[in-house]
A and B are shown apart, each in its own frame.
Chain A
Amino acid sequence: MSFEIAIDHRIGDRQIRLDCRARPGLVALFGPSGAGKTSILNMVGGIMTPDRGRIAVAGETLFDSEAGANVPPARRRAGYVFQDGRLFPHMRVRANLLYGRHAEAPMAFDAVLDFLGIGHLLDRWPATLSGGEAQRVAIGRALLSGPRFLLLDEPLSSLDPARRDEILNVIERLKRELAMPILYVSHDRAEVERLADQIIAL
């Protein structure tokens, strides 16, 4: 069992409901903009608290409104790659990558640099990176934080077609080599069909 998500949450006049038990592998949350896909990732990552429900990943309960359980985001060990990268603008790439450094990271620092091809960017400031470079650094930062699962929020949306292919390849390799649950949000059907082991439509 990978992601078990049963939540009920209201934002303004929008109701977000989901009840699913995902199989291991890459699970795509698929749906139109505004369906609450990113909100669900935020709830699994712990930076948003659902009104009601239960969230568990790989058998560990992260949130359960009935039991009063809510693991803080800092202890969830989610590898969250945000749509907009969210690199820290006041730190160089190296400091960004090492910010969440964790002993149980699935790949060592040098392996991550090789895997993502970002070794030459270490001394750059995030503001000077291209969209694709920034997204690769964001993926590297998430991997080095020792995640037990990955949350990918439309990691391709801000990229031009050439870069999209490059990041798609990276994600396919992640999926093959890391064998950890991945929750992937997208509104692009082709992308989801290429990557996903299971699709959850919203």
Chain B
Amino acid sequence: MILSSEEWGIVLLSLQVSLVAVGLMLPVAFALAWMLARLRFPGKLLVDALVHLPLVVPPVVTGWLLLLLFGANGPIGRLLEQTLGVSFMFRWTGAALASAIMAMPLMVRAMRLSIEGIDRRLESAAETLGARRWRVFFTISLPLALPGVLAGLVLGFARSIGEFGATITFVSDVPGETRTLPIAIYSALQLPGAEAAVTRLAVISILLSLGALLASEALARRAGGGRTNHVL
């Protein structure tokens, strides 16, 4: 399939936005999943609810909340602008932030399930063999949770590559900055005679999502060694 250079730009931008979003969200989501699975603390219910918010409210509302918090006049947005010089408005960084927030609930859920599924008696066994806390975490807990972490990454990436509502609300449709695949498809649909472009972009986005699923399956097989531990 032949893509125009503008369309290639859209694909690369989408990949960039989604990879950065999922990459940055990975440690955050894992920490949240671990907290929710393992710790008891006051306000846990609130944290759980906040994590799930982007899953249950309309994406437009999530985008609007991002505008309020991270916009040029939002409290966090202004702070980041002044201290780190990072701004989100009409920039691809904003698209990545919106994608990350939208991917968060799915990533946390997948990881939390697999952390809750770890047989904690194996962790005790490792302790009696002389392993300190961090060694138990890196050699027992994390590898056993790995299928869920991979599943979370794939779900997050798929959610991210398809993200539309929060992104367009938060950072609008700026060609070359925030015009990711879904936004480009939507824009093209507004123009007469762009069916061919829409088809090309739609096929690309389907291929990207399927590719992510297959990659995760391959990774899970590898990580699982001889065992049968699959994301799919």
A contact set with B: CB distance below 8 Å: 42, 45-47, 72-78, 80, 82, 84, 86, 88-90, 92, 99-100, 102, 125, 127-128, 141-142, 145-146
Given A82-B121, A88-B140: A141 and B129 interface contact (C-beta under 8 Å): yes
Residue B131 interfacial (CB < 8 Å):
yes
Q: How far is the CA of A69 from the CA of B121 in the complex (A)?
A: 24
Report, nearest first, the 4 A-B pairs whose CB atoms are least far apart: A100-B129, A73-B127, A47-B124, A86-B125
B127 touches A46 (CB 8 A): yes
Residue B117 interfacial (CB < 8 Å):
no
List the A side residues contacting B124 at CB < 8 Å: 42, 47, 73
Q: How far is the CA of A89 from the CA of B126 in the complex (A)?
A: 12
Given A89-B227, A90-B143: A102 and B127 interface contact (C-beta under 8 Å): no
User: With contacts defined as CB atoms under 8 Å apart, how many contacts are there between chain A and chain B in the complex?
Assistant: 64
A145 touches B122 (CB 8 A): no
Given A88-B140, A89-B227, A90-B225: A72 and B127 interface contact (C-beta under 8 Å): yes
Given A125-B225, A125-B226, A127-B227: A86 and B122 interface contact (C-beta under 8 Å): yes
Residue B130 interfacial (CB < 8 Å):
yes
Q: How far is the CA of A74 from the CA of B126 in the complex (A)?
A: 8
Residue B144 interfacial (CB < 8 Å):
yes
Given A80-B125, A86-B122: A100 and B130 interface contact (C-beta under 8 Å): yes
A99 touches B129 (CB 8 A): yes
B227 touches A47 (CB 8 A): no
List the A side residues contacting B129 at CB < 8 Å: 99-100, 141-142, 145
Task: Determine chain B's interface SS by DSSP, over half rule.
Answer: helix
A74 touches B121 (CB 8 A): no
B227 touches A125 (CB 8 A): yes
Given A86-B121, A88-B122, A90-B144: A76 and B128 interface contact (C-beta under 8 Å): yes
Residue B132 interfacial (CB < 8 Å):
yes
B125 touches A74 (CB 8 A): no
Given A90-B225, A125-B226, A125-B227: A99 and B126 interface contact (C-beta under 8 Å): yes
Q: Which of B100-126 contact A (CB under 8 A)?
A: 121-122, 124-126
Given A88-B140, A125-B225: A80 and B128 interface contact (C-beta under 8 Å): yes
18 A-B Cβ contacts within 8 A? A42-B124, A46-B128, A47-B124, A47-B127, A47-B128, A73-B124, A73-B128, A74-B127, A74-B132, A80-B125, A82-B121, A82-B125, A89-B144, A90-B227, A125-B227, A141-B129, A142-B129, A145-B128
Q: How far is the CA of A14 from the CA of B127 in the complex (A)?
A: 26
A79 to chain B, nearest CB (A): 8
List the A side residues contacting B226 at CB < 8 Å: 125, 127-128
